[in-house]
Amino acid sequence: MWKCANRMLGGVILACVLAFGTAAQQDAITGTIDAQIEAFQADDFERAFSFATPRLQRLFQSPQNFRRMVTTQYPMVWRPADVRYLEQREYDGSVFQKVQITDVKGVTHLLLYQMIETDSGWRIASVQFLNAPGASV
């Protein structure tokens, strides 16, 4: 009987530890995205650029190039009215965070952030648009 109780207790403890680890990871990922959006809102593109992966930084080469891309192709991220975090999934070494952003005109956009953990913490590897049911373009 004690063996069974010990196994159940061990299972409960393991589940709690795994849930805590997942919650901590999710907080770190959403914190990175939040910090980049805050930098965008302050027009601090040097800081915003620092949240991109080294590969993405090499691709854009400078915060100024990054700024042009963000302000023209992702204005809803540069100046969001509302940001909501939806589900998060792991796949092949990356974590994908779905984010619902409402822009200043009230249009809802669904974005998928690919996050990669680096020695410096979680970084944004890519952002792609998803179709938003009921959203207008």
Specify the pLDDT at position 83: 95
> What CATH architecture does domain 2-130 belong to?
Roll (3.10)
Q: Which of 25-34, 60-69, 98-107 has the least mean pLDDT?
A: 25-34
**Strand runs (DSSP E) across 1-137, as ranges?**
80-91, 94-103, 108-118, 121-130
pLDDT at residue 25 in the model: 66
**Residues recorded for the chain:** 137
pTM above 0.85, yes or no: no
